[in-house]
Chain A
Amino acid sequence: MKLSPRAYEVLWDAHAWAGVLSSLVLFVTFYLGAFALFAEELAPWQEPHFRAPVAVSEARAVALAQHFAEEEAPSRPVWFGISLPTAEEPWLRLWRMADGGLHMTWVDPVSGRRLGERSDLGEFLNAMHFLEPLPGGQHVSGVASAVLVLLVGTGLLLQLGRMVRELVRFRPASSRRVFWSDTHKVIGVVAAPFLLVFGLTGGILWLDDWFEPAVVRTSMKDDPTAKARAVDWPSPPAASGRPAGAPDLARALALAKQRFPASAHDHFFFDHLGDENGSVHLPGEQEGTLHAFTHVRVSRQGQLIWEREAGGGTTYTRVMDPLFGLHFATWAGFPAKVLYALLAFLCAFGILAGNLLWLERRRAKSPNRFDVVLARLTSGVCAGLALAVACLFVANQVLPGGLAERPRWEHGVFLASWAAGVLGALLGADPALHARRLLLAASGLLFTVPLLDSALTLRLPFGSGSTHVLATEVGLVALALLLLGASIAIRRLQRAPSSAARPAVSETPEPLPG
C-alpha cells in the first residue's frame, strides 16, 4: 500500500515543516535525556564526598532525620522532605519548597552538621531535559512531544510501501542530501517505537495540566476525589490548625518495610509537618520492573492511612505507570540504561539529520532568510548544547565545594556558554565551521574533566575504585570521542561536493516537493 502522490506531497510537507519547527527543542530533549537517565548515578561524580560509603547505620540516620523533622515542625511547612543516606548519596538531604522552587541542602550523617547546598549537576541536566529551568519550558517541551507524535505518524505514513527497502538503504558515498535523507529515514524507522513512547508520555507529562482539568470536569463531575481515586493518589489529610510534633519516622519506616519488603525506602516526604493532622509519605522503589514504585502514608499518630501497590490499584494506573516506567527507564539496570542513552543520542542525531536534509534541499535552490537562520540556530543550539554540557562538567570540578548558591553558579555557566554558542552562530560567518569549533571545544573540555577530577581528588584517572565514578569517566571520554568524531565528520562533509554538484543518485523514486 502506498499513498497517492498528492497525499505523499501534503504529508511530506507537514512532516518537514513540523520537524524543522520543533527540531531544536526535540534535539535538546533527547541529547539531555541521555544524561537525565543517570541523574542519580551522577551524584558521586558531582560531589566527591559522596564517593565514601554510608558511614552510619540506618537507625542512626533515621534518628537524625527525626531530629531535623522535629526542628522543622514549628515552622509548619506545607511540604518538607528528608532523604536517608544511600550508596549514591551517603549524606542526608533536606528538601524545602521556597520562592516557588525546590531547595536541597545536605547534612553530614556522622556529625549532624548542615553542609548547605552542593552541586546538583545530575538533577539540573534532568530538569533541562524538559526545559524546566526556563520560563514556560515544560509546556514548550510538551508541545514538542506532541509534535513528535505527529512526526512519527507522518514519517511512518510516508514510508508506506517502501519501509523495508529504505530501512537498509544507506549511501554514505552519495551527495550530502542523499546521505542526510538516508540517515534520517533509517534512524527514524528504527527508533519509531521509542520515539512514539517518548512523544506520548512526554506530551501527557507536560501538557496534562492544560488537558486533565477539562477531563475531570466533564468525565468525573468535577470531583477532585474521583480523580484522586482514578490515579490512586488520595490527597493527604487537611491541616487542622493545631500544632503538634513530627510523625515517628522509625515507626513509619517499619510500617513501610513491613508492607512492602521488596522496596527500598529512602525518603520521608511530609505534608503539613507540625500540624496535628500531619502525615509522612514514604515512596519505595523496586528494581527490574515497570511497576517500580510503592507508596505508604503514615499519620502523625503512627497509623497506616494509605498504601499503593506497585502499579497502583486502578486500570488507569496499571496502564500509565508502565508507560511512564518506559519513559523514565525505571525498569532498567545499568546496561539497559546505557542502551537507552545510546538510543537517545541516536534520536538526537536523527533529528539533526532531518534539519540538515532540509538545508541541503534548500541549498540546491536559493536559501531564504528562514533557512539561513535555521542553519545558524541548528549550529548554535545543537553544538552549543554540547559545549554547555562540557562547561557544566568543568564548572562542577573547578568551583569551590562550599561555594554559596553553588547550583546557581553551575546553572549560570551552563546557560551562559550555551547562549554564547547560539550568539556566535548568529553573528559568525559559517554555521558549519562554528559547529565544528564548538564541538572541538566541547570535546577538549570533556577530555579534561576526568583529568581534573583525578588531580583534585589526588588519584589516578580511571582508578577511583568506585564503579559510579569509573562509569562517568568512561562515559565522558566516550562522549568526547563522539563529539570529536562529529567535528571531523562535519569537516569531511564540507569538503565533499554538495547535492547540487552531484545529482547522480536520486533520493527517492517519487517526485518530491520542496
Chain B
Amino acid sequence: MAHRHGAGRIAAAVTGAPVAAVLASVAVPAVLPVAEDVRLLVAMLVVLPAVCTGVCLALLARSAPRAWVGSVLVAAVSVGVLVSK
C-alpha cells in the first residue's frame, strides 16, 4: 500500500489529518454563536466524522505535499481561531 499510495500521504492520513480534524472540531464549536450545551453537542457529534473525512481526503490528495499542506492549513487555522477568540 505504501509503495502504491506513497508513505508521505499515508503518514498524513494517519497523523496530520486526524490531528487537524480534532483541532477543527474543537475550534468550530468554540466560535459558534449558540448555547454552550449545543457547542459541546456539535463537538462530540462532529469529531469522529471529521477525523474520518480528514483521513479520506488526505489519502485522496494528489500528492503527499498536498495532503500535508491541507492538514497543516486546517490545523493552523483552527489554532488561530482558538488563540484569537
Q: Which residues of A contact B (CB under 8 A)?
A: 7, 9-11, 13-14, 17, 145-146, 149-150, 153-154, 157, 199-200, 203-204, 208, 211-212, 214-216, 218-220, 226-227, 229-231, 314-317, 319-320, 513
Contact = CB atoms under 8 A, between A and B. Distances in A.
Contact of B26 (A10, A215, A227): A215
B44 A204 contact: yes
Nearest to A323: B45
Contacts of A9: 4
16 contacts: A10-B59, A11-B59, A17-B1, A145-B48, A146-B48, A149-B51, A150-B56, A153-B53, A153-B56, A216-B40, A219-B30, A220-B36, A229-B37, A315-B37, A316-B40, A316-B41
B30 A211 contact: no
Interface in B29-63: 29-30, 35-41, 43-45, 47-49, 51-53, 55-56, 59-60
B59 A320 contact: no
Interface of B: 1, 4-5, 13, 22, 25-27, 29-30, 35-41, 43-45, 47-49, 51-53, 55-56, 59-60, 82, 85
Contact of B49 (A153, A215, A226): A153
A162 B28 CA distance: 35
Among all A-B residue pairs, the 4 with the closest Cβ atoms: A230-B37, A316-B37, A219-B39, A150-B52
A156 B41 CA distance: 25
Given A200-B48, A214-B26, A219 B36 contact: yes
Nearest to A142: B48
Nearest to B18: A146
A316 B36 CA distance: 9
A208 B44 contact: yes
Contact of A218 (B41, B55, B82): B82
Nearest to A145: B48
A295 B44 CA distance: 23
A13 B41 CA distance: 32
Contacts of A203: 48
Contacts of A513: 4
Contacts of B43: 211, 215, 219
Given A218-B82, A219-B30, A13 B1 contact: yes
A200 B50 CA distance: 12
Contacts of B82: 218
Contacts of B26: 211, 214-215, 218-219
A6 to B, nearest CB: 8
B37 A215 contact: no
Contacts of A153: 49, 52-53, 56
B55 A14 contact: yes
Given A214-B26, A316-B40, A149 B1 contact: no
Contacts of B30: 215, 218-219
B56 A218 contact: no
Contact of B40 (A11, A17, A215): A215
B70 to A, nearest CB: 15
A10 B37 contact: no
A230 B36 contact: yes
A368 to B, nearest CB: 12
Contacts of A11: 56, 59-60
